[in-house]
Amino acid sequence: SLLRLPLLQLLLLVVQAVGRGLGRASPAGGPLEDVVIERYHIPRACPREVQMGDFVRYHYNGTFEDGKKFDSSYDRNTLVAIVVGVGRLITGMDRGLMGMFVNERRRLIVPPHLGYGSIGLAGLIPPDATLYFDVVLLDVWNKEDTVQVSTLLRPPHCPRMVQDGDFVRYHYNGTLLDGTSFDTSYSKGGTYDTYVGSGWLIKGMDQGLLGMCPGERRKIIIPPFLAYGEKGYGTVIPPHASLVFHILLIDVHNPKDTVQLETLELPAGCVRRAVAGDFMRYHYNGSLMDGTLFDSSYSRNHTYNTYIGQGYIIPGMDQGLQGACIGERRRITIPPHLAYGENGTGDKIPGSAVLIFNVHVIDFHNPADVVEI
């Protein structure tokens, strides 16, 4: 890029800076001009602005006063990726980028003493040339950045939060900082399923998912050094790119989880509790962790009738129904390894899904019960 400063030009700018410090005037006898900045598009959302020492990625067209183009990042199909304010750019560009927002468009008019000076650049930029740059900023980050997490929606009831070692299922939209989409789970017909904190995800996502509740929506902004770094990924994520993910957490469990029981209503005078081998009749609503209903006995207007503790139902339900009283209402949360596992079942229960059953026990008995007369 022509915006990278040759050594000779760097020396020239040092001399010019000294001249300005001594009150040097322009050839016309007036004070030296500064960069002229025309902000002709300012985005509505401006979460941060360019500061000295930031790493930026931007496109530009460079022209002379008569409109003749001398350089363009678009022609090379390559963004400029560089640190601002440390002498790697001509002084006029360093100054012109300061305070800029992602997706902002500026026209910078750079006078000769802040560009290539009285020497110019052989064959490309004549001496004492005023330079015009049309710039659009696409990315900005700093080596001191951390993962930025914004909670967009948090459900009122949070049974558990994501921890390292948990297995999660979530939907996501992934974009670059300028809004360019590079990937989405919604187009793939299923959630993204993985372990957290085990090296399966980029480091920034591992950090950004921690503490999430099922049903929560988050915006996670990840700097490049916690994402795909200097190499990028394939053709969709360029080098040095900040990534933005909009996440909807569907499900979370840990391989060590057991069945969780919550008594919602316990009738008075419970004389007997269900044990393995009992025959039980009960109603239920079955849902996924995000509240999606997958089955209900009420919709069939008929109880579910079965033996418990005999392997006729999923292991988690076998465990969860034991100890219940007639008339009791309880919530049974079953991890996938005690339900339908990695494969799921049918088209309503996906693989690795936690199942939640709200159960109403109607009655139960045991074939060995003594008939009371």
- The catalytic residue among 54, 71, 94, 139 is 71
Mean pLDDT of 262-280: 95
**Mean of pLDDT over the chain:** 91
Q: Is the pLDDT of residue 164 over 80?
A: yes
pLDDT: is 256 or 27 the higher one? 256
Of 41-50, 58-67, 326-335, 363-372, which range is least confident?
A: 363-372
55: annotated active-site residue:
no
The percentage of the chain sitting over the pLDDT mark of 90, rounded to a whole number, equals 86
Level-2 CATH architecture, domain 260-365: Roll (3.10)
Residue for token pair 């030009």: 9
- The catalytic residue among 54, 55, 82, 90 is 90
- The catalytic residue among 55, 60, 294, 340 is 60
Question: What confidence category does residue 3 fall into, taking pLDDT thresholds of 50, 70 and 90?
Answer: low
pLDDT tens for 341-351 read 999 999 999 99
312: annotated active-site residue:
no
60: annotated active-site residue:
yes
Question: What confidence category does residue 30 fall into, taking pLDDT thresholds of 50, 70 and 90?
Answer: low
Question: What confidence category does residue 20 fall into, taking pLDDT thresholds of 50, 70 and 90?
Answer: very low
Whether 148-253 shares its CATH topology with 260-365 is answered yes
Q: Is the pLDDT of residue 31 over 80?
A: no
Per-residue model confidence (pLDDT) at position 176: 97
Q: Is the pLDDT of residue 26 over 60?
A: no
Where does residue 17 rank: exposed (0-12), middle (13-18), buried (19+ CB within 10 A)? middle
Q: Is the pLDDT of residue 247 over 90?
A: yes
Per-residue model confidence (pLDDT) at position 1: 54
Structure tokens at 279: 């025959």
- The catalytic residue among 55, 133, 167, 282 is 133
Per-residue model confidence (pLDDT) at position 100: 97
Mean pLDDT of 30-43: 88
- The catalytic residue among 55, 58, 101, 116 is 116
Mean pLDDT of 24-46: 76
Query: Which H or E run contains 97?
Result: helix 91-97
For 148-253, CATH number?
Answer: 3.10.50.40
74: annotated active-site residue:
no
Which segments within the chain are labelled E, that is strand?
Answer: 36-41, 55-63, 69-72, 80-83, 105-110, 131-141, 148-153, 167-176, 181-184, 192-195, 217-222, 243-253, 260-265, 279-288, 293-296, 304-307, 329-334, 355-365
For the chain, how long is the longest CA-to-CA vector?
119
Per-residue model confidence (pLDDT) at position 226: 98
Mean pLDDT of 297-326: 97
pLDDT tens for 223-237 read 999 999 999 999 999
Per-residue model confidence (pLDDT) at position 21: 32
Residue for token pair 């902002």: 104
Q: Is the pLDDT of residue 93 over 70?
A: yes
250: annotated active-site residue:
no
- Could you tell me the residue ranges of all domains in the chain? 7-141, 148-253, 260-365
Which segments within 1-110 are labelled E, that is strand?
Answer: 36-41, 55-63, 69-72, 80-83, 105-110
- CATH classification for the domain delimited by 7-141, as one of 3.40.50.10860, 3.10.50.40, 3.40.640.10, 1.10.10.410: 3.10.50.40
Structure tokens at 207: 């950090």
- The catalytic residue among 70, 195, 225, 233 is 70
Q: How many Å apart are CA 35 and CA 29, to the nearest integer?
A: 18
133: annotated active-site residue:
yes
Mean pLDDT of 275-298: 96
